[in-house]
Amino acid sequence: LNQDQQPPKKKHKTSKIINPKKDEVLSEQALKALAYAYSRYRHPEKWKFNKARQNWITRNVWSASMIPDQHLPLVTWYLKSVKGGVRD
């Protein structure tokens, strides 16, 4: 770089994980389960494990009608972070 040039500005990573509460087409169960996963993503210190929500996510992960494509980054992130028997 010479003196006239400034270093390129760093681009902030924009998260592809969106808040499911802003999605008006989700079913009630989908909204609850995705909000649960989103809570773990955004506020891990406040998040509490809920087996029913985790089971819903794992049962419906391949259902495009239950989990729309725009929420797959969230579900993928959540499933990568789980521990225990559900990983098998």
At 4 the pLDDT is: 66
Rounded to whole angstroms, the Cα distance separating 72 from 30 reads: 12
User: Regarding predicted confidence, which is higher, 61 or 12?
Assistant: 61
CB atoms within 10 A of CB 73: 14
Residue 36, classed as helix, strand or coil, is helix
5 or 60, which is more confident:
60
Q: What is the pLDDT of residues 38-70, one digit of tens each?
A: 999 999 999 999 999 999 999 999 999 999 999
Cα 22 to Cα 48: distance, rounded to the nearest angstrom = 22
What pLDDT is recorded for position 87? 64
Q: Which residue has the higher pLDDT, 17 or 11?
A: 17
Collapse the DSSP code of 75 into the 3-class scheme (helix H, G, I; strand E, B; otherwise coil) and give the result. helix
The number of angstroms, rounded, from the C-alpha of 74 to the middle of its chain's C-alpha atoms is 2
Query: What are the residue boundaries of the structural domains of the chain, listed by start?
Result: 22-83
pTM comes to 0.79
